[in-house]
């Protein structure tokens, strides 16, 4: 297919860049820094995007969205990630929690949650991974048992829960039955984070404050109306959600932008770099574009309602490998100037190289390890050969 998104998409891209230039301070590196004002900036920017009909660009108008196409949402996604995600933690709600509620939620759940997400009024976190169930998510042990008074009681532990300290709601997977294959008997719940019995413990990490947490649930009470989809059939919801998540993190756009910024920032010193390093820069930029095209392939399928697990995994593998490749090229090219010690920030890159490198270290683990993604692709290929 032709991946030229056309003049309308280009106009949207320029509009977003103007908003970013006007409303984000120079050197902005995202919400999860030591400065609480950075989180406040993202919250204000989300409100601005919502007012402009851009935060949930592709959502139907009846849910508070902009009524645009998935391609327009892709432009929003790329520009946000290219500029250090000024939506902050909102991308999770916009990217896949909202779409999952659209598809599997009751009318009451849709009315409660979707307008709030589209308006930037609520932050969601994701209760999937556990200490013994990370990439093998179907092995989760958190249990939800029927409450004699009605609803459910949830007990267990989640880990690597991004945004849990600031979130108002959690989309959470728990085991409600033990039967058949291990992915059976899982149910999805929409859980208020203010519920009694929930404890959040931050995990110190390279990615900055508030990013990763442990989540403990001790007899947390949820009502029967907080089940998303069918009881014991949550794996269907999870698979659908992960398709959206794996293409929603458009870090290939940030990779491409940082590579260009690096070349421009070095100016005349660019030609002084070793020829081998400049060749690696070129390869890295090609790989960023390849990751973009693979993501576009999934977006095209999404627009047609036929997203394939394996295609989403291929796009994710390409993006994460590109992330790490670009991080190494950037770091080597800027050498000591890439490390943000408060004094050596490059006047153009403003610590962005060091920030990118820190995140890239975990890129092949987040959203399902690269090994799991490759396994999904291999299984699909073998299944195709068997047919």
Q: How far apart are the first and last CA of the chain?
A: 26
Nearest 10 degrees: CA dihedral of 282, 284, 285, 288? 160
Active site residue 245: yes
Nearest to 238 by CA among 93, 137, 360, 377: 137
Catalytic: which of 245, 325, 332, 354?
A: 245
Helix H segments across the chain?
Answer: 6-23, 36-51, 70-82, 90-92, 98-104, 107-118, 234-248, 251-266, 275-304, 309-334, 352-360, 370-386
Nearest to 291 by CA among 261, 325, 263, 260: 325
192: phi then psi, degrees, rounded to nearest 5: -65, 130
pLDDT of residue 363: 75
Q: Which residues contact 165 (CB under 8 A, 6 or more apart)?
A: 200, 202, 210, 213
- Evaluate whether 127 touches 170 at the Cβ level (below 8 Å): yes
d(CA 210, CA 33): 8
157: phi then psi, degrees, rounded to nearest 5: -140, 140
Torsion 9-120-323-297 (CA) sign: negative
CA distances for 251 relative to 45, 48, 351, angstroms: 20, 23, 17
DSSP β-ladder status, 186-192 and 124-127: unpaired
Give the three-class secondary structure for 283: helix
d(CA 283, CA 293): 15
pLDDT of residue 195: 97
- Evaluate whether 273 touches 121 at the Cβ level (below 8 Å): no
d(CA 26, CA 44): 16
Q: What is the pTM of this model?
A: 0.87
pLDDT of residue 19: 97
pLDDT of residue 138: 87
pLDDT of residue 1: 55
pLDDT of residue 265: 86
Three-state secondary structure string covering 306-355: CCCHHHHHHHHHHHHHHHHHHHHHHHHHHHHHHCCCCCCCCCCCCCHHHH
pLDDT of residue 249: 78
Give the three-class secondary structure for 54: coil
17: number of Cβ within 10 Å: 13
Nearest 10 degrees: CA dihedral of 52, 54, 60, 61? 0
pLDDT of residue 269: 84
Query: Can you give the pLDDT of all 387 residues of the chain as single tens digits?
Result: 566 677 788 899 999 999 999 999 988 998 888 888 999 999 999 999 999 999 999 999 999 999 998 889 999 999 999 999 999 888 889 988 999 999 999 999 999 999 999 999 999 999 999 998 877 888 999 999 999 989 999 999 999 898 899 999 999 999 999 887 888 999 999 999 999 999 999 988 777 666 789 999 999 999 999 999 999 999 999 887 776 666 667 889 999 999 999 998 888 888 888 999 999 999 999 999 999 999 998 888 888 877 777 888 888 888 889 999 999 999 898 874 555 555 555 666 778 888 898 888 877 776 667 777 787 778 777 776 554
Domains 125-233 and 249-386 in one fold? no
Candidates 1.10.3720.10, 3.40.50.12780, 3.40.50.1000, 1.20.140.10; CATH matching 249-386: 1.20.140.10
342: phi then psi, degrees, rounded to nearest 5: 90, -10
- Evaluate whether 144 touches 174 at the Cβ level (below 8 Å): yes
Nearest 10 degrees: CA dihedral of 185, 212, 30, 299? -20
| CATH, domain range 125-233 | 2.40.110.10
339: phi then psi, degrees, rounded to nearest 5: -85, 125
Domain boundaries, the chain: 6-88, 125-233, 249-386
């Amino acid at each position: 297919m032709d991946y030229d998104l056309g003049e309308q998409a280009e106009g949207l891209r320029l509009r977003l860049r103007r908003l970013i230039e006007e409303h984000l301070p120079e050197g902005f590196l995202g919400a999860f820094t030591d400065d609480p004002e950075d989180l406040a900036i993202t919250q204000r920017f989300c409100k601005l995007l919502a007012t402009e009909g851009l935060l949930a660009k592709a959502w139907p108008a009846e849910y508070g969205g902009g009524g645009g196409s998935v391609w327009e949402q892709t432009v929003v996604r790329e520009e946000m990630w290219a500029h250090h995600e000024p939506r902050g933690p909102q991308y999770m709600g916009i990217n896949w929690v909202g779409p999952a509620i659209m598809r599997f939620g009751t009318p009451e759940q849709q009315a409660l949650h979707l307008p709030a997400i589209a308006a930037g009024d609520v932050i969601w976190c994701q209760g999937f991974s556990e200490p013994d169930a990370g990439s093998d998510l179907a092995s989760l042990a958190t249990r939800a048992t029927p409450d004699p008074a009605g609803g459910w009681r949830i007990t267990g532990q989640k880990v690597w829960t991004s945004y849990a300290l600031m979130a108002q709601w959690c989309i959470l997977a728990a085991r409600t039955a033990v039967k058949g294959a291990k992915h059976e008997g899982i149910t999805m719940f929409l859980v208020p984070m203010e519920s009694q019995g929930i404890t959040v413990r931050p995990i110190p990490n390279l990615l900055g404050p508030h990013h990763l947490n442990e989540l403990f649930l001790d007899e947390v009470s949820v009502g029967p109306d907080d089940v998303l989809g069918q009881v014991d059939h949550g794996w269907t919801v999870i698979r659908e959600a992960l398709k959206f998540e794996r293409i929603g993190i458009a870090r290939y756009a940030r990779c491409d932008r940082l590579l260009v910024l690096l070349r421009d920032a070095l100016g005349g010193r660019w030609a002084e770099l070793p020829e081998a390093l400049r060749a690696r820069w070129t390869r890295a930029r090609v790989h960023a574009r390849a990751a973009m095209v693979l993501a576009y392939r999934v977006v095209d399928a999404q627009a047609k309602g036929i997203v394939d697990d394996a295609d989403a995994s291929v796009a994710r593998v390409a993006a994460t490998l590109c992330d790490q490749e670009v991080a190494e090229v950037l770091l080597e090219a800027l050498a000591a100037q890439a490390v943000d010690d408060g004094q050596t920030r490059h006047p153009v890159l403003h610590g962005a190289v060091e920030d990118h490198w820190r995140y890239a270290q975990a890129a092949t683990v987040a959203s399902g390890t690269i090994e799991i993604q490759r396994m999904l692709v291999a299984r699909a290929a073998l299944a195709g050969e068997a047919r």
